[in-house]
Amino acid sequence: MKFKTDFAERLRRAASMLAVLAVALGSAACSDDGGVGEEPYVYFADGTELLSYTIAGGSKSLEMYCNQGPWVIETAYPEDEEWIDVWPNEGSRDARFKITVSANTGAYSRTSSVNVVVGGRIIKSIVVSQAGGEARLALDMGSDNMNASASKTQVTVSLDTNVGWLPEVLGDAAGWLSFGDATETSQVVEVAANDGAERSGTVRFQAIGTGFENLYVDVHINQFDMEHDPYNGVHKTIREIVESLPAGVSTTIGENVWVEGYVTSDPAKLNFEANRMFIQDESGRGMQFEFASARDNVYALGEKLRIHLYNADLVIDEVTRGRKVASFTSGAVFDRSTGEGIEPVVLDYIENLDMYENTLVTLRSVEFSIPMGTYVNIDERTNLKAQGNPSALPYCDGTHFYGHLLCDARGNTVKLYSRDTFLDRVAAVMPNGCGPVTGIVSKYTKNGVTQNILTLRSHADNGVAADGERLTNTLVRFGPLTGYEGVPQLLSSVGTAQLKSSTYERVAALGSSDSGSNALGWSYSYARREPAEVTVSSTGVQSVYPVINNSASTPTLINIFFCVESQKFWNATGSTINREGMGADDLGEAWIVNVDDFRCSGGDLALVFSAASSQTGPMYFDLEWADDENAPIAQWHKFGEHINPDWYTCLQCQQFTYPLPAELKTRTKFTIRMRVSKNLRAGVGMTNGKESGVDVLSGGSPRFGYLAITELK
């Protein structure tokens, strides 16, 4: 077995290196290649004969004095080139070269030699040694329990380790457990047929090496009796199982049942968490499985699986509040075959999604409420992804996925979420027409509100037309913003309207020093204007080309849309709000949309926008309308409450929609405002990731990436 021979090889090579060192220290090089009348020589500056490296590796330079050549420099064993690099590795006479050693991910120290060779003969050697790391031996499965059928079978144990190891069956289980093939990080365990009672055994994996006597890990293998063997179980549809579960609570399946379905998620596209899988059967219902280890999620889109559910835990996820099979292992899959997949359930309206949790569906006709950017409109700089405020996170989506609003012909909406690992995340800009969208329905909970969301498997699931008919009429629209709009006022690109704040009406020119602080200003929405391409390196690192360009010094090369922002949203000098009848502490400022020459055909109206606040900007807003901007508070009509997410915690302008009152259908002129209702910042008491006061600061800036008033046709 490889893990045994590797350890023996380390011992043999260590002895060999001692011999090399002895030769290097005790012998003089001789050759016929020296100059005329000159004794051949070769030596390293300062008499260096041994180079030692830490676990991190690194580079060290050597000066060699030599009157021979041509020479080449080689590692003692060809495989050592995987961790030792010499440059330059050929030349003649005196030279300076560098020996670079890569990081040692193993626990054992390693040693080799680098040899100077002339005419096939070693004339000089230097020993290279590197320290080992901390020994690691653990299960890479998320659970130390595995199930096996009563029939003769195999299970594979996955290990997370950097040491050699030996497997051992403990106790009487040696009579029915044995070992098959192995790699450096896995071991096949052969399980004999069981014609008796249910039984369990333990396999121990013991680390090899001096000082590792107490480093081991155990896995427990439970083998069913014939009564509870999956092959003797009852086949049920996913729909039968889901409908039999108690609503809203976790439960364990005590019956010997199994399901057969097709994998509907696509692990290759990386738009689902690595340890998540969805399957669906002909009953038109799906089931979500959360693997104990993501390494077990090897099932491709369309594969047909039979899954044993005896003793499976169907739990309500504490975060999403969705239903899933928890701590799932591949041992529960007792039959696997290539399949053609399964057709999605076709739905006419979003309101029907509640019945189809974890199910692949097609919404027959929807539109993107904000047809702007690509699937993921998030600042892509990875050094910012780990930032954020835990106290603000319940009110925003975080930095790793983005939600696009989809709207159907009845005005219902659902968020289409895409992860920042999704390989198709920048494959297209969002289409402006309408059409079908296919995805898997799941639950999502924020701030105590649970809703359905949709997730694509790939860009091919998006069948919305690039242009053409929409399900809504756009009556007023600001955006997508290029940063060149609005000097001196920000006017709508569709309809007749103006967007301003209660402190500023003037719009600063792009790049102006008073942008945001003394006028409406510009920031970046990080929604791309054009598609891009994602490539993946051999180590799994993703790159996007072209990269985002937000350099104000080259505005013509900027390839993302802007958002408009303003400051001074609490108790501002020069506020235009009429505070007649308002409380003494009601000092919030507002975004204001003045609409004129409004023409509605009688369809339901909605306010749609993408927004966020800087960390010290306002969080809570009241949505209000009045016939006139200067009306006292008694003449303003509240139609909603809005929470602005903290940009620092989400790196995006999130999308929102609110129904507008029916009274506006008959008006040709009115004002909508988004007024700060509480003196509480979006960062919820944080500034630059540190605890601070909770008040909205003068420099705190809410921002819009897009704003529209739409009407259902």
pLDDT of residue 513: 67
Same domain, 217 and 112: no
- Give the total number of structural domains in the chain: 4
Q: Nearest 5°: CA angle at 446, between 441 and 448?
A: 110
Does one domain contain both 565 and 700?
yes
Are 493 and 555 found together in one domain? yes
Q: What is the pLDDT of residue 67?
A: 92
Residues 529 and 658 in one domain: yes
Please indicate, yes or no, whether residues 36 and 119 belong to a single structural domain of this protein: yes
Domain boundary among 96, 130, 164: 130
Within-domain flag for 271: yes
pTM for the whole thing?
Answer: 0.79
Strand pairing category for 199-207 and 165-170: antiparallel
Q: 601 near 666, Cβ under 8 Å?
A: no
Contact (CB, 8 A) for 349 and 588: no
Q: With helix as H, strand as E and coil as C, how does 57-69 read?
A: CEEEEEEEEECCC
pLDDT at 6: 52
Res 185: pLDDT: 92
Give the separation between CA 374 and CA 379, rounded to whole angstroms: 12
CATH at residue 214: 2.60.40.10
Task: Report yes or no on 439 lying in a domain.
Answer: no
Report the CATH number at residue 503: 2.60.120
Do 89 and 193 lie in one domain? The reply is: no
Q: Are residues 561 and 664 in the same domain?
A: yes
Q: What does the pLDDT look like over 301-347, one tens digit per residue?
A: 999 999 999 989 999 998 899 999 998 888 899 999 998 899 999 99
**Domain presence at residue 677:** yes
Residue-level pLDDT at 187? 94
Residue 10: the pLDDT is: 52
Q: What is the pLDDT of residue 509?
A: 83
- Helix, strand, coil percentages, rounded to 5, for the chain: 15, 40, 45
641 and 660 both lie in a single domain: yes
- The answer to whether 639 and 604 are in contact (CB under 8 A) is no
pLDDT for 515: 62
Give yes or no for a contact between 62 and 97, defined as CB atoms under 8 angstroms apart: yes
The reply to whether 141 falls in a domain is: yes
Whether 517 maps to a domain, the answer reads yes
The verdict on residue 467 lying in a domain is no
At residue 511, the pLDDT reads 74
Alpha helices of 103-255 — where are they, by DSSP H? 238-244
Domain finish residue from 130, 146, 179: 130
- The reply to whether 61 and 74 lie within a common domain is yes
The reported pLDDT for the residue numbered 687 is 81
> Is residue 529 included in any domain, yes or no?
yes
Do 224 and 240 fall into the same domain?
A: no
Structural domain of 103:
2-130
pLDDT tens-digit readout, 94-144: 999 999 999 998 888 999 999 999 999 999 999 999 998 889 999 887 678
Which residue among 213, 228, 243 closes a domain? 228
Residues of the chain falling short of pLDDT 70: 1-37, 142, 383, 513-517, 552-553
Q: Phi/psi of residue 8, each to 5°?
A: -65, -40
The whole-number pLDDT of residue 177 equals 97
Task: Please tell me whether residues 160 and 288 are part of one structural domain.
Answer: no
For 345, the enclosing helix (H) or strand (E) is strand 345-347
Question: How far is residue 525's CA from residue 552's CA, in Å, rounded to a whole number?
Answer: 14
How far is it, in rounded angstroms, from Cα 184 to Cα 561? Answer: 49
Looking at the fold, whether 188 and 125 belong to one and the same domain comes out as no
* Domain presence at residue 606: yes
Give DSSP secondary structure letters for 50-108.
EEEE-TT-EEEEEEEEES--SEEEEESSGGGGGTEEEES-EESSSEEEEEEE----SSS
